[in-house]
Structure formats: structure tokens, C-alpha cells
């Protein structure tokens, strides 16, 4: 009886919490594409962002000299936001402060920021965020917990640690107060929809006072989204650069990805993925029900390199054409059924197949779908395409193999998307079938 009462009390609480989580995460789950922006001092010399001095490739002193080259003279926040909108992304995440401690906004404390300590002499964060909001894009703020330049932070470089928290607890408190005040400052100025933390690996949850940080972020803003780089205390996982091979276990996740091999602008790094390759990764994320956070790296003058602009525009063209298969979609069907990425509409009555390479007979194979297929059309131009079922025996449950024909004149340069309209929610054949007992 006691157990029954307990279940009676606990289950509704659990379901309620789950509903709250789902409604809070809905915009994020539906968004599918976000743009990451790494903009900071490191773009001046084109060196690895913050890590270059941490790892001892350059002295801290020389690293800081880059403040003289951080001019933002060509910076056009309106054009940035417009370009992001054009790419089809629904949100952007910008580095308000990387591990080097350089703040892009006019930080209240004035410790180390673009206004007081760089050639730009201006707040370069506020106008961008204003323009994101104007474009109806969700606002994400990246914030590095470690600040290797700040004198009361424990780590300075790989070799130099300033102190141990156990030896100087008061000094650590000064740091905690500094970073949490910066968060309050950012929160009151921008009220972001999402916080993207980084660098949690240098301390544990207790040392960072993650509880206090969460409290201050959720105060009056219970629906704000946090990534999980708060020693795991966030809403979604952030696999980095390697596109997942297997579907991640986390319910919500976002792959962050560089276009070349660097987060920040490095002239020398021309190892860009092609639009096709980026779409290969993006469609894989869609297939597994996750998001892609694609990085751009503006130069120190604030201009965005043409190659990055072109990738965003190309992706934007493709996204616009195939919007119904992308935004708000659910993860697709296993690759045993269709040998490529796929998604499902929210009601699971339309299956979208992403076709990259066209087979030599021009026919796409779909197996094991038990539903009746009402119609198959090409997304973005509406052409209805013929399909034929083979190996279907009328008295057997086995659904046969569909061969879908793709006329050559309907092909997209990257992925052609087929919408397979079903007579109900998708049902996949999962039986093992053996001998045919009657003919
Ligand atoms: C890593 C790197 C950092 C980069 C981030 C982006 O944590 O330390 O430099 O900004 O990934 O995901």
C-alpha cells in the first residue's frame, strides 16, 4: 500500500518535470542549426585561441600585444546577423569571453575588455546581440569559466599554476565572485536564451560553485538553456568536432564543428570542409536527432572571410529548399531500412530520405516499411516520383522492397530529399522471416 501511495505521489511529479523540460527544450530541439562565433584577440596573429600562450607557443606578454591589432574596423553586426539568418540557422552562440579572459562587451568590472583594452575601443558584443534579436534569432552566449589572464585564477599556463585553492581559499573566492559577477552583468545586459559554458575540466562542480551559478542564471529566467559543460550540470551534451558515429545517448545534444581545423581565424588554415562535407555531417546530426553548431571565425577587423560566407549561403539555399525535412523533424529510421540519413515529420507520417549519391540505375531502395505509401515527392520542387515494390507476397507480413525512381532533372547539387507520405505513423518491419511455407 505504502509503495502504491509513493508511486501515486512521485509519478505525477516526474511526469510534470519531464513536460517542463520538454517544453523548455522545444525551440532548441526544433532549431537544428546554430552558428558558433569565435571572435577574439587570437584572430590578430592567427594563432590558436587562448591555447597559444597557455601551451607556451607564445609568451603571455606577446599574446596580449594582439590587443593593438584588434580593430573591429570592418565590423558590421547587422550584416553578421543577416548572414546567419540566411544560413537557415535559428540561433547563434558567440564567445563573450574565451579562456584568455578578453571580454567583447563593456564588462562592468573593466578588468580586460574590448572597450578599455583594445584598438577597437568599443563594445562589440551589444550591437551583434541587438541584431540577432532583430532577426528573430535565439541568442547564445559562450562563456569560458577559466580566465588564464586573471591574477586570482589558479591556472596561468600549462607550466605556471598561481596557487592551490586549499592554500588560498579567499583568493579563489575573489575569482568566483569575479566570474559570477560577469555572468550577472551579461545576464542583465543581454538576457540570453542559452548559455554555452566551456573549460569546466579545470575544477570540479563544488570548486566552481556550479550550484550558485545555476541559481543566478535561473533566477527570474527558469526556461533558460545551459549546455552541459558545467561538470555535467546542464541541459544538453556537446560532442565536439568529431561527428558522432553512433547516436549519442543524451536526449538533447549539439555537435559543435569547425569549418576548417580552427575555432578562431587563422589565415594559414585553409583546410576547409566543402559545403558537401558539411552537409554530410549536418544530415547525420539530423538523422540522429541532434543539432549542429557550425563555427565561423571573423578576422580581427570584424570581416568574415569569403569562404565562410559562401559556405553559409550555400547551406542556406539548401536549408530553405528542404525546410520541411529539417526544422522540427525527429530522428530518422535505422540505416538497414534506408542506406543514408533520414528524418521523420513530428507526426511520424512522413519519412524524409536524404539522397547523396545516385545509384547507377537511378533507383533508391527503401526496405521494411509496413505502411502503405500514399505518395512520394521531391522536396523543394514537388515532383511526384514513381516507385515499385518487389518481393512482396500478399499473404506475408514482409513489406517488400521499394525501388523509388529519381528523375535526373530533379537532383539537387548536394542532397536530394524525398518525402515519403505514409498512411499513418511509420511502422517498421522487425520480424525475422524464414521459410516460405506456401506459394
Ligand atoms: C574547446 C576548446 C576551446 C573551444 C571550444 C569550442 O573547449 O578549449 O578553445 O572554444 O572547445 O567548443
140-181 tens-digit pLDDT: 999 999 999 999 999 999 999 999 999 999 999 999 999 999
Instruction: Check pocket membership of 100 for ligand 1, CB cut-off 6 A.
Output: no
The CA 148 to ligand 1 mean position distance, Å, reads: 14
Please give the angle made by the CA atoms of 335, 338 and 341, to the nearest 5 degrees. Answer: 70
Instruction: Check pocket membership of 172 for ligand 1, CB cut-off 6 A.
Output: no
**Predicted pLDDT of residue 286:** 98
Instruction: Check pocket membership of 198 for ligand 1, CB cut-off 6 A.
Output: yes
**Predicted pLDDT of residue 13:** 57
The CA 149 to ligand 1 mean position distance, Å, reads: 17
Helix axes 169-190, 126-134, angle to 10 degrees: 40
Q: Is the pLDDT of residue 4 over 80?
A: no
The confidence band for 242, taking pLDDT boundaries of 50, 70 and 90, is confident
pLDDT cut 70: percent of the chain above it: 95
Residue nearest to atom 5 of ligand 1 (CA): 198
The CA 198 to ligand 1 mean position distance, Å, reads: 7
The arithmetic mean of pLDDT across residues 42-69, rounded, is 98
Q: Is the pLDDT of residue 7 over 70?
A: no
Instruction: Check pocket membership of 256 for ligand 1, CB cut-off 6 A.
Output: yes
Q: Which among 70, 46, 39 is positioned nearest to 269, based on CA atoms?
A: 46
pLDDT one-digit tens code per residue, 270-312: 999 999 999 999 999 999 999 999 999 999 999 999 999 999 9
Q: Is the pLDDT of residue 422 over 70?
A: yes
Q: Is the dihedral of CA 306, 309, 311, 314 positive or negative?
A: negative
The CA 264 to ligand 1 mean position distance, Å, reads: 10
* Nearest atom within ligand 1 for CA of residue 95: 10
The CA 328 to ligand 1 mean position distance, Å, reads: 28
pTM equals 0.95
The arithmetic mean of pLDDT across residues 85-107, rounded, is 98
Q: Is the pLDDT of residue 344 over 60?
A: yes
Q: How far apart are CA 196 and CA 6, in angstroms?
A: 37
Average the pLDDT over each of 74-78, 208-212, 247-251, 297-301 and give the range with the smallest value. Answer: 247-251
Pick from 240, 260, 261 the residue to mutate for probing ligand 1's pocket: most ligand atoms within 8 Å of its CB: 240
**Predicted pLDDT of residue 326:** 98
Mean pLDDT of the chain: 95
The CA 96 to ligand 1 mean position distance, Å, reads: 13
The arithmetic mean of pLDDT across residues 101-127, rounded, is 98
**Predicted pLDDT of residue 19:** 80
Average the pLDDT over each of 9-18, 196-205, 263-272 and give the range with the smallest value. Answer: 9-18
The arithmetic mean of pLDDT across residues 365-386, rounded, is 96
Residue nearest to atom 9 of ligand 1 (CA): 49
Residue nearest to atom 4 of ligand 1 (CA): 263
**Predicted pLDDT of residue 434:** 67
Residue nearest to atom 8 of ligand 1 (CA): 199
Instruction: Check pocket membership of 49 for ligand 1, CB cut-off 6 A.
Output: yes
The architecture in CATH of the region 32-321 reads Alpha-Beta Barrel (3.20)
* Nearest atom within ligand 1 for CA of residue 99: 9
pLDDT cut 90: percent of the chain above it: 89
Residue nearest to atom 10 of ligand 1 (CA): 263
* Nearest atom within ligand 1 for CA of residue 229: 7
330-422: CATH topology: Immunoglobulin-like (2.60.40)
* Nearest atom within ligand 1 for CA of residue 199: 7
CA 252 to chain CA centroid, nearest Å: 10
The confidence band for 10, taking pLDDT boundaries of 50, 70 and 90, is low
**Predicted pLDDT of residue 395:** 82
Amino acid at each position: 500500500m505504502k509503495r502504491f501511495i509513493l508511486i501515486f505521489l512521485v509519478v505525477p511529479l516526474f511526469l510534470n518535470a519531464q513536460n517542463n523540460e520538454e517544453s523548455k527544450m522545444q525551440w532548441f530541439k526544433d532549431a537544428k542549426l546554430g552558428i558558433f562565433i569565435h571572435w577574439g584577440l587570437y584572430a590578430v596573429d592567427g594563432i590558436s585561441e587562448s591555447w597559444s600562450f597557455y601551451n607556451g607557443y607564445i609568451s603571455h606578454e606577446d599574446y596580449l600585444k594582439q590587443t593593438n591589432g584588434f580593430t573591429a574596423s570592418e565590423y558590421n553586426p547587422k550584416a553578421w546577423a543577416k548572414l546567419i539568418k540566411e544560413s537557415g540557422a535559428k540561433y547563434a552562440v558567440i564567445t563573450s569571453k574565451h579562456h584568455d579572459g578578453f571580454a567583447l562587451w563593456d564588462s562592468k568590472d573593466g578588468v580586460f575588455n574590448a572597450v578599455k583594452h583594445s584598438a577597437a575601443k568599443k563594445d562589440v558584443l551589444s550591437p551583434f546581440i541587438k541584431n540577432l534579436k532583430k532577426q528573430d534569432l535565439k541568442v547564445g552566449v559562450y562563456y569560458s569559466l577559466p580566465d588564464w589572464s586573471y591574477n586570482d585564477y589558479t591556472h596561468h599556463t600549462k607550466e605556471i599554476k598561481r596557487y592551490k585553492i586549499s592554500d588560498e581559499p579567499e583568493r579563489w573566492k575573489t575569482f568566483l565572485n569575479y566570474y559570477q559577477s560577469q555572468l550577472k552583468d551579461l545576464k542583465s545586459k543581454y538576457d540570453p536564451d542559452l548559455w554555452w559554458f566551456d573549460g569546466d575540466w579545470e575544477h570540479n562542480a563544488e570548486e566552481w560553485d556550479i550550484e550558485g551559478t545555476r541559481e543566478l542564471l535561473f533566477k527570474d529566467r527558469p526556461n533558460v538553456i545551459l549546455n552541459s559543460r558545467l561538470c555535467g550540470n546542464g541541459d544538453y551534451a556537446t560532442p565536439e568536432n568529431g561527428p558522432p558515429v553512433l547516436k549519442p545517448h543524451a536526449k538533447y545534444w549539439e555537435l559543435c564543428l569547425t569549418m576548417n581545423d580552427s575555432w578562431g581565424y587563422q589565415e594559414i588554415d585553409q583546410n576547409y570542409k566543402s559545403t558537401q562535407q558539411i552537409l554530410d555531417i549536418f544530415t547525420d546530426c539530423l538523422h540522429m536527432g541532434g543539432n549542429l553548431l557550425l563555427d565561423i571565425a571573423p578576422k580581427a577587423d570584424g570581416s568574415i572571410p569569403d569562404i565562410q560566407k559562401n559556405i553559409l549561403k550555400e547551406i542556406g539555399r539548401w536549408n530553405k529548399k528542404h525546410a520541411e525535412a529539417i526544422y522540427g523533424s525527429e530522428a530518422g529510421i535505422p540505416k538497414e531500412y534506408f542506406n543514408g540519413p533520414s528524418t521523420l515529420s513530428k507526426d511520424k507520417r512522413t519519412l524524409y530520405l536524404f539522397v547523396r549519391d545516385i545509384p547507377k540505375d537511378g533507383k533508391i531502395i527503401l526496405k521494411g516499411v509496413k505502411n502503405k505509401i500514399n505518395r512520394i515527392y521531391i522536396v523543394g520542387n514537388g515532383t511526384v516520383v514513381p516507385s515499385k515494390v518487389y518481393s512482396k507476397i500478399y499473404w506475408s507480413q514482409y513489406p517488400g522492397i521499394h525501388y523509388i525512381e529519381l528523375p535526373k532533372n530533379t537532383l539537387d547539387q548536394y542532397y536530394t530529399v524525398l518525402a515519403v507520405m505514409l498512411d499513418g505513423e511509420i511502422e517498421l518491419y522487425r520480424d525475422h522471416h524464414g521459410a516460405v511455407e506456401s506459394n
